[in-house]
Structure 1
Amino acid sequence: MNKQRLLSGHETELLTNEELQKASKDLVMYKSGLVRILPDGWLYPAIATRYLDRIYNMELRSDDVLIMTFPKCGTTWMQEILWAMIRNPDLDPSNEEIKEPLWVRSLDVGIDMLFDNYKLAKNGMNSIAEKFSRVCPGKKKEDGMAIQIVENQPSPRVIKTHFPLDLLHKDLLKKCKVVYVARNPKDMMVSFYHYIRVAKGGSYQGSLEKFAREVMRGEIPYCPYWPHVLQAWRQRDNPNLYFTTYEDMKDDIMGELRKVNKFLGKNLTEEQLKKIAEFTSFSSMKTRGEPIDKAFYIEDIWQKEGGMFRKGIKGDWKNHFSPKLNQEMDQWISDNVKDTGLNFKFGN
């Protein structure tokens, strides 16, 4: 896989063997290696280049809603909120979709790239493969199961992505709506670290401090963090993008639900919103169980760490950061939010 130019205008660059060897000391690697997408330096499994142009060209519908986040920033919470508001506002238990895992109900359109991972290639995609066979008969898995499922889903669609705005179609915000959720970088770092330790696709072996410094340098897949957040932040006044934070959701979930309701033009009642707030509360979602296949994570560590719904609090970073790491993070944050107007809440 040589250098190539994507439809988004970005150029791709495979990591060298030396870079891959360094990364593989702590991470389970991808069979095709890793690719850096320039100029921002997005780091993904190299097989992502097979899907990115197709995702860029995906036919968008006026009633599509994309949930967009950097990993571990409140994605699953907002994903469930949007699915409920758009696909099942009365929370009808007979709704067929509600019986599916959340990650199948509103798919991550780029998830196929993860199945190039050595530990996930065999059985990390069971529920997605089953749905693909059902809704895309005769189609080829290698063309991307997620994108083809999404293409065949009825409207209105709720689509998840961890890709940044500039890797998606240039007319995205003219054609449909995007809900972007950010999270203070310190709590994101702790949550991302716990997840990448227990996910088979990561199985990260290093310490939190090592991981945090690698994220700050953009050496972990899905990084860099700041261009992802700031691209959305600069579009916060676009009428088709709603920018919120995990902390704002924790502080006033009903207030956020009212704003999302208005943004989507759903006209849901206060009673419907209250029921959705309960349905998507941390305790309710944890009780319903994991939103992804067990084959996706290392079960004994996953259960020990609390699973996908680990704590659901603000300010957990204070229980994990050394003074030195906190100082480095403060500088990293200050350097990147300077003159942007973006502020985060870091306390409980």
Structure 2
Amino acid sequence: MFMEKMKDLKVTWNMTRYEVDEVEGIPLTKKMCDRWNETWAFQAKPDDLLIATYAKAGTTWTQEIVDMIQNDGDLEKCKRASTFERHPFIEWVLHEHTPTGVEQAEAMPSPRTLKTHLPVQLVPPSFWEKNCKIIYVARNAKDNLVSYYHFHRMNQIMPEPGTWEEFFEKYLTGKVLWGSWYDHVKGWWEAKDHYRILYLFYEDIKENPRREIQKVLQFLEKDLEKEVLDKIIHYTQFDIMKENPMANYTTLPPEILDHSISPFMRKGIVGDWKNHFTVAQNERFDADYKQKMAGTSLTFRMEL
């Protein structure tokens, strides 16, 4: 098991914040860039399911929903391993002594559920060639920015976020890992018209989880009893998942994720940006947003 191997490496957890490089203009960690050829050459299989998101847009939530659907609501099966072991993060490279996301995926039997934060143009071509099903989840930019900032603070291997004001500027200009939020959500929005992509919104799942989970069921061609669906809705609530060590990332050492700074699963609400944005920042963000989102049919709700 991946975690057991990591526990054996206690003495080597002298982690430092990763350097950043680029692939086709998209900022990624240098470790990811150094292994990029392997990621790009990854061989998807027709029955692979890919969960794609911009970072901090409800990825873990979606993974848990999908895993519970695939396991017919069996809680014990869903607690067989942590989220990052159940669903390999294809482009991620953590440590020289641990398997890369690609290596984890290659060692996994089919059918596989995989995860990525890559913008649509950097997704390995085999996913399109094999016509894989993809679930994409998008979250409104303001809440996404706040969540991403706090994640950088607690994640000891992500690039240093700087102050809130500094990170705000980086996010607006797309100088953060996985690039511009705007390009990411718009790129995937356009791709959904050409491939088997279910495009969901964080705010919709929050507002009406039953309706949105039924969309996932239909997309995965699964039929579950009402009692099982009720169970899935219950156990994928934020407060329940926050206490689940197989979903809340507390199994990783504090040298990687320091939950004393900010929990991995922090608030999970819509509208938390109001507690962070100054009036001036909000006006600036809105003007920038209007310009960058012009000409797309894609719309987001900043509050419920």
Equivalent residues in 2 for 1:1-348, closer than 5 Å: 29-30=17-18, 33-38=19-24, 41-86=25-70, 88-93=71-76, 95=77, 98-112=79-93, 114-115=94-95, 129=98, 144-175=99-130, 176-202=132-158, 204=160, 206-238=162-194, 240-289=196-245, 290-291=248-249, 292-295=251-254, 296-302=256-262, 307-348=263-304
Displacement after TM superposition at 1:169 (Å): 2.8
| Structure 1 residue identity aligned to 2:170 | E
| Paired positions, count | 284
Q: Once the 2 structures are TM-superposed, how far is the Cα of residue 345 of structure 1 from its aligned partner?
A: 0.3
Structure 1 CA distance, aligned partners of 2:80 and 2:126? 34
Q: Structure 2: where are the runs of 5+ without partners?
A: 1-15
The alignment yields a C-alpha RMSD, in angstroms, of 2.0
Shift of 1:145: 2.8
CA distance in 1 between counterparts of 2:158 and 2:144 reads: 16
What CA deviation, in whole Å up to 9, does each residue of 1:145-182 have, x standing for no partner?
32112112112211011112211233523521110011
Structure 1: runs of 5+ lacking an equivalent: 1-27, 116-120, 130-143
Aligned residue for 2:57, secondary structure, equals coil
C-alpha contact 2:53 2:138 (8 A) present in aligned 1: yes
Report SS of the residue matched to 2:35: helix
Native 8 Å contact 2:119 2:178 kept in 1: no
Alpha-carbon distance in 1 for matches of 2:158, 2:32: 16
SS at match of 1:35: strand
The residue identity in structure 2 corresponding to 1:102 is T
- CA drift of 1:47 comes to 2.8
The amino acid across from 1:259 in the alignment is K
Alpha-carbon distance in structure 1 between the residues aligned to 2:267 and 2:127: 34
Alpha carbons of structure 1 residues 254 and 72: separation in structure 2 relative to 1, 3 Å:
same
Q: Look up the equivalent residue of 2:301 and give its one-letter code.
A: K
Three-state SS of the structure 1 residue aligned to 2:261 is: helix
TM-score of the aligned structures, taking structure 2 as reference length: 0.87
Tell me the alpha carbon deviations over residues 3-47 of structure 1, each in whole angstroms, 9 at most, x when there is no partner.
xxxxxxxxxxxxxxxxxxxxxxxxx643xx422223xx2101223
2:156 match: secondary structure:
coil
Q: Could you give the per-residue CA deviations for residues 62-94 of structure 1, whole angstroms, max 9, x where no partner exists?
A: 2111111111111110011112222x123152x
Contact 1:83–1:106 (CA under 8 A) maintained in structure 2: no
Please give the per-residue CA displacement for 1:225-255, whole angstroms capped at 9, x wherever unaligned. Answer: 2221111100233451000110011011110
Tell me how far apart the structure 2 counterparts of residues 168 and 255 of structure 1 sit (CA, whole Å).
28
Structure 2 partner of 1:21: none
Counterparts of 2:234 and 2:112, CA distance in 1: 23
